Amino acid sequence: MSDTEHQCWCDDLPVGLMEVDASGIAQRVNPRCCVTLLRSEHDLQMQPWYDFVVPEQRGGAQERWNRLRSSGIGFHWRCGFLTGKGDSVSVLLQAAPACVGSPVVLTLSDLREVEQDLEHERAATHLAEARMALDQVLTVLGHEMRTPLAGIRAMVEAGRMLLGADGREVIDQILADTVRMSEVVDNLLELSRLQSGEVQWAWQELDLDELLSECCLRHEALAARTQTALQCDKLAAGTIRGDRAALCQLFDNLVANAISHAEASYVKVHARRDGARVLIDVRDNGRGMVPEVVQSLGQAFALNAGLLNEQQIAGTGLGLVLVKEMAAVHGGHVAVRSKLGFGTTFQIVLDATRDGPSPRDRSAVVHEGIESV
């Protein structure tokens, strides 16, 4: 390594560095050392390094220096250095023995920064442990609730056939609430799987027009119950590479959400091709949403309960979190346009040619929202 390269290497170090001669006087000081001690390079080259140690520890500094020079034993030591402002700074001082005729290298790490790094590391560890615990709670809770809810739903559907019109109204309400609870549980379990990275994607080439047509067919009964006209416009999206189950869940969540919560007279699904991308619109002419609600869409547990009650919106918003994530896995995104009294349009943009799932930061699963346009 040339002298110029060595100087650049020293200057880029994240810790303070001194190269000192046999008398302890610095021959080279990097910028980080000057910043830590609030002294100029010239100042630090005027006297032996141990003279800058606080008086109560100066004897220990000289003793360690002499031992290193006589026996070649390096050291690391927490001590205080006097700064150029007259106060002191605590550092972790490390010295490595040198070859004969070579300068001794001293490194100084500001303990305030060391403690900050340790605190950040501890916080990250605690956060990871909390996330793991939450994932386990959601998984256990979901599995424990899923089975009894499925039993309740089956019994309610069977009992509905035995009752008159009045009784069926009550049963229909119970059934609707049961279905909604089942959806919440399913969404919680899926969200937990996404955050834990346990999802195994099955990538393949798919007919997107067929997937959308099947989605509309699955929701015809729901649309009929809510007296909503569900329309799949002429589709010409072609094929897409992706995970069939994920794409079905993406489309199902958006269409079911529009039918169930928008209070619309119609819901339209439209798809088109744009080069390597496909664009799918799910549009309704329902009541729309206020900007405060729109801004929270796609963030898990971020929807304001007061606003939801004010607009009489049911749901947790978890379905839209999954919509956002499934789109992101397919190299795309979701945007929403909504105006109170004029309906809502969700647009999904997907990369139709992606060879595999797009990696996701697990924190983005719950914290990033859906783009508002």
Residue type, position 5, single letter: E
Check if the beta carbon of residue 204 is closer than 8 Å to that of residue 330: no
Bridge partners, 266 (sequence order): 229
Q: Which residue has the higher pLDDT, 367 or 184?
A: 184
- pLDDT higher than threshold 80 for residue 191: no
Closest among 361, 362, 364, 336 to 348, alpha carbons compared = 336
Domains and CATH numbers, the chain: 3-113 (3.30.450.20), 202-372 (3.30.565.10)
- Would you place residue 100 in the very low, low, confident or very high pLDDT band (cuts 50, 70, 90)? low
- Would you place residue 156 in the very low, low, confident or very high pLDDT band (cuts 50, 70, 90)? confident
- Would you place residue 157 in the very low, low, confident or very high pLDDT band (cuts 50, 70, 90)? confident
Q: What distance lies between CA 239 and its chain's CA centroid?
A: 30
- Would you place residue 304 in the very low, low, confident or very high pLDDT band (cuts 50, 70, 90)? very low
Q: What is the pTM of this model?
A: 0.54
CA–CA separation, 328 and 365 (whole Å): 10
- Would you place residue 287 in the very low, low, confident or very high pLDDT band (cuts 50, 70, 90)? confident
Instruction: List, for residues 197-209, the tens digit of each pLDDT value.
Output: 667 888 999 998 8
pLDDT at 37: 92
Q: Which residue has the higher pLDDT, 189 or 243?
A: 243
Instruction: List, for residues 311-369, the tens digit of each pLDDT value.
Output: 444 555 677 888 888 888 899 999 999 888 889 999 999 998 888 887 754 444 444 55
Q: Which residues contact 123 (CB under 8 A, 6 or more apart)?
A: none
- Would you place residue 141 in the very low, low, confident or very high pLDDT band (cuts 50, 70, 90)? low
Sheet holding 16-20, edge to edge: 26-29, 16-20, 104-110, 88-96, 75-82
- Would you place residue 309 in the very low, low, confident or very high pLDDT band (cuts 50, 70, 90)? very low
355, two tokens: 């060879």
pLDDT at 131: 65
Question: Average of pLDDT values for 285-294?
Answer: 84
- Would you place residue 137 in the very low, low, confident or very high pLDDT band (cuts 50, 70, 90)? low
3-state secondary structure of 31: helix
Q: Which residue has the higher pLDDT, 33 or 171?
A: 33
Closest among 73, 51, 70 to 61, alpha carbons compared = 51
Bridge partners, 90 (sequence order): 80
pLDDT at 61: 93
pLDDT at 51: 93
Closest among 357, 345, 143, 334 to 244, alpha carbons compared = 357
- pLDDT higher than threshold 50 for residue 305: no
Q: What is the rounded average pLDDT for all residues in the chain?
A: 80
Share of the chain above pLDDT 90, in %: 24
Q: What distance lies between CA 18 and its chain's CA centroid?
A: 41
Question: Average of pLDDT values for 62-85?
Answer: 89
pLDDT at 223: 87
Instruction: List, for residues 227-240, the tens digit of each pLDDT value.
Output: 889 988 766 778 89
CA–CA separation, 117 and 111 (whole Å): 10
pLDDT at 307: 46
- pLDDT higher than threshold 60 for residue 74: yes
- Name all contacts of 46-50 with Cβ < 8 Å and 24+ positions apart: 48/20, 48/23, 48/24, 49/18, 49/20, 49/24, 49/25, 49/106, 50/24
pLDDT at 302: 53
3-state secondary structure of 175: helix
pLDDT at 52: 94
pLDDT at 300: 60
What b/e string do you get for 336-345 counting C-beta neighbours within 10 Å, with b at 16 or more?
bbbeeeebbb
CA–CA separation, 298 and 296 (whole Å): 6
- pLDDT higher than threshold 80 for residue 148: no
